[in-house]
């Protein structure tokens, strides 16, 4: 090799060495700068690591970089684990600034993710892509960075909490001097089948489609959010607004549903909530709900903190014309507003009032008002229940029942019950009576049955009892002068001094009444006193239609329903 050749080779080696050193230095500097920027942007508790596998730098074109960005979350917002973003990006450097554009969509994977120590699964990789409007990042020295990107994730699931989010789409845009905006959409599923403990469990709710828009003006300004949750092709719509202050780590979410009509021409309960449909059948009515969630974390400078979050939830549900069958019990004409002090688990504080047109527990109780609560033990605690029955009132002693598996004894105290109206329940042709009764009516609920367990009523004073059927039943038929004919004669105009009525039977079956009376018929044996013991039975009158037609919601309950639409103080 001549002197010129050796000189050229030496120059070439120097150029290659210098270029290699420059690339190595560039990669190291890029690692350091990008890691610092990400840690500052994502806050404390996030450890970014950038690994650049290849840098292609050409004098006549942009720079192409292959690598992977690993974000390790150790604390904050209850989220931990690793997210790895990998792929190739094109770095363009021009006189007007720098652009960063993915060569194709970047791959997003997760490893060891957990939310509040509940594992999160990302079975399929997500994709981070540029928006059609331009590069993912456009930075100009005199203006600053402009961001525009789109993230899609096929499925994110929490097997232990039995939920999954599918079809996640998140677009974010930010330009200097403008709001940072986020548009997100996804479908939320309750997935009890993923729990090995209860493979036959039913979902709590139908799949919910969520669409939200969020924005904030500056890195320290509060986030504002608005959106909607929909299910059943719009049959259920819930509107949402929210704010979050990164300085105090506190925020609030308000939810308000459009009126939801259940049953009839509306939404079937089984489609809305398969799990609830196992508890209640033939559900009807119109429901409107609103809810509020507030949260507070450890105050800071907008960074995520490691402390526990205090989350509170509450809500109100307005029920109009509600009805349902709960095992052997049927209710109709339910109206009122129920407050919840916690949404999950649902807790209804004591003292909530509902007006109920009909409660059928083997006998029809009408025009009722119930004062109740529902606790974390999943039992309804009824402090007061007053009903109109047979022209008088029935008042329940305090009791507790589980809605999903009602089992227990409910004792009702009767006062001022009309004997004639009570006998009308048995539907025995030709019976008529007057007088007022008081007594005790135990109702035993369990194993899908409602049984009247030895109800006893005594007359408050004297009255009349008449039994004159158009066609006497076979047991009371007989020739003139027979004992059965004499009994019918005595009952044709019986004036009693004392009377006791007992009731036994099962809802949907026969109601048996025992009648013990002492008195006389002025036209029977010259009014000689006699004692009679009778047994009557007949099919139960399950619905008193006239009572429902004339039913009127009490003023106190109606006032709460009217005030439901009025805003509450924050």
Question: C-alpha distances in angstroms, 27 versus 31, 56, 84, 106?
Answer: 6, 11, 19, 19
Residue 263 counted as domain residue: no
**Residue entry with tokens 């008449």:** 466
Report if residue 244 sits inside a domain: no
> What is the SS3 assignment for 317?
strand
On whether residue 75 sits in a domain, the answer given is yes
Q: What is the pLDDT along the chain (570 residues), one digit of tens a residue?
A: 444 333 333 333 333 333 344 444 554 555 555 555 444 444 555 677 778 777 776 665 677 888 888 888 776 666 788 999 999 988 887 777 788 888 889 999 998 888 878 899 999 999 999 887 667 777 777 777 788 899 999 999 988 888 899 999 999 888 777 788 999 999 999 877 544 445 456 778 889 999 999 998 887 789 999 999 999 888 899 999 999 998 888 999 999 999 999 998 889 888 888 888 877 888 999 999 999 999 987 654 433 344 467 889 999 999 999 999 877 788 999 999 999 999 988 999 999 999 999 888 767 788 999 999 999 888 899 999 998 888 899 999 999 988 777 788 889 999 999 988 877 766 667 888 999 999 998 988 888 788 888 899 999 999 999 988 877 766 566 666 566 677 777 888 999 999 998 988 886 667 778 889 999 999 888 888 888 887 776 543 332 333 334 456 567 666 776 677 777 655
Chosen domain end from 112, 140, 158: 158
Q: Are 74 and 58 in contact (CB under 8 A)?
A: no
Number of domains in the chain: 2
Residues in the chain: 570
CB-based burial, 149-159: b 16+ in 10 Å, e otherwise: bbbebebbbbe
For residue 405, what are the CA distances in angstroms to 16, 57, 444, 507? 81, 72, 13, 17
Q: Rounded CA gap, 248 and 230, in Å?
A: 31
DSSP class per residue in 236-292: EEEEEEEEEETTTTEEEEEEEEPPEEESTTSB-HHHH-HHHHHH-EEEEEEEEEEEE
pTM value is: 0.76
Q: Is 9 strand, coil or helix? A: helix
Domain termination residue (choose one: 125, 158, 191)? 158
Which of 158, 173, 204 is a domain's end point?
Answer: 158
Supply the range of the domain harboring residue 491. 409-539
How far apart CA 115 and CA 188 sit, in angstroms, is 16
Phi, psi values for residue 41, rounded to 5°: -75, -40
The span from the first CA to the last CA of the chain, in angstroms, equals 88
Query: Can you read off the two tokens belonging to residue 387?
Result: 């009903």
Q: Tell me if 457 is assigned to some domain.
A: yes
- Within a domain: residue 374? no
Assigned domain for 60 exists: yes
* Maximum distance among all Cα pairs of the chain, rounded to whole angstroms: 157
Q: How far is CA 303 from CA 45, 223, 253, in A?
A: 8, 14, 20
Helices vs strands, H then E, count in the chain: 7, 33
Complete DSSP assignment for 101-131: EESSPEEEEEEEEEETTEE-B--S-EEEEE-
């Amino acid at each position: 090799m001549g002197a010129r050749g050796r000189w050229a080779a030496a120059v070439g080696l120097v150029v290659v060495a210098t270029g290699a050193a420059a690339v190595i230095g560039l990669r190291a500097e890029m690692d350091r700068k990008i890691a610092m920027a990400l840690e500052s942007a994502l806050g404390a508790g996030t450890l970014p690591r950038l690994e650049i596998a290849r840098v292609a730098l050409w004098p006549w074109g942009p720079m192409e970089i292959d690598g992977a960005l690993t974000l390790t979350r150790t604390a904050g917002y209850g989220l931990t684990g690793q997210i790895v973003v990998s792929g190739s990006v094109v770095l363009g450097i021009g006189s007007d600034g720098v652009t960063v554009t993915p060569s194709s969509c970047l791959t997003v994977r997760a490893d060891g993710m957990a939310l509040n120590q509940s594992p999160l699964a990302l079975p399929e990789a997500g994709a981070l892509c540029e928006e059609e409007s331009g590069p993912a990042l456009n930075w100009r020295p005199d203006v600053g960075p402009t961001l525009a990107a789109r993230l899609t994730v096929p499925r994110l699931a929490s097997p232990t909490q039995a939920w999954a989010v599918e079809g996640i789409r998140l677009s974010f845009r930010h330009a200097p001097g403008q709001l940072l905006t986020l548009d997100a959409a996804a479908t939320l599923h309750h997935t009890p089948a993923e729990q090995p403990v209860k493979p036959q469990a039913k979902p709590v709710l139908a799949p919910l489609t969520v669409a939200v828009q969020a924005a904030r003006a500056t890195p320290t300004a509060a986030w504002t959010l608005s959106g909607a949750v929909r299910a059943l092709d719009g049959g259920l719509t819930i509107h949402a607004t929210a704010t979050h202050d990164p300085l105090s780590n506190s925020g609030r979410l308000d939810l308000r549903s459009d009126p939801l009509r259940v049953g009839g021409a509306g939404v079937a309960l089984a489609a809305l909530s398969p799990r609830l449909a196992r508890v209640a059948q033939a559900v009807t009515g119109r429901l409107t709900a609103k809810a509020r969630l507030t949260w507070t974390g450890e105050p800071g400078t907008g960074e995520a903190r490691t402390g526990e979050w205090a989350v509170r939830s509450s809500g109100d549900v307005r029920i109009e014309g509600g009805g349902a069958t709960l095992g052997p019990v049927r209710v109709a004409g339910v109206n009122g507003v129920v407050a919840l002090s916690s949404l999950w688990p649902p807790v209804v504080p004591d003292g909530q009032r509902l007006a109920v047109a009909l409660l059928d527990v083997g006998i029809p109780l009408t025009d009722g008002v119930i004062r109740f609560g529902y606790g974390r033990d999943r039992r309804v605690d009824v402090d007061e229940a007053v009903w109109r029955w047979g022209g008088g009132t029935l008042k329940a002693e305090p009791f507790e029942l589980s809605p999903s598996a009602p089992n227990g004894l409910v004792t009702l105290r009767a006062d001022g019950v009309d004997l004639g109206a009570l006998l009308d329940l048995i539907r025995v042709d030709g019976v008529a009576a007057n007088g007022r009764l008081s007594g005790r009516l135990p109702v035993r609920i369990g194993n899908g049955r409602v049984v009247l367990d030895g109800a006893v009523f005594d007359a408050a004073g004297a009255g009349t009892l008449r039994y004159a059927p158009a066609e006497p039943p076979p047991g009371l038929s007989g020739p003139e002068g027979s004992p059965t004919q004499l009994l019918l004669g005595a009952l044709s105009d019986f004036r009693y001094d004392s009377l006791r009525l007992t009731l036994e039977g099962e809802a949907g079956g026969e109601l048996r009444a025992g009648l013990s009376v002492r008195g006389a018929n002025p036209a029977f044996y010259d009014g000689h006193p006699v004692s009679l013991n009778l047994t009557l039975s007949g099919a139960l009158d399950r619905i008193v239609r006239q009572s429902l037609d004339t039913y009127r919601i009490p003023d106190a309950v109606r006032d709460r329903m009217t005030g439901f639409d009025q805003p509450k103080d924050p």
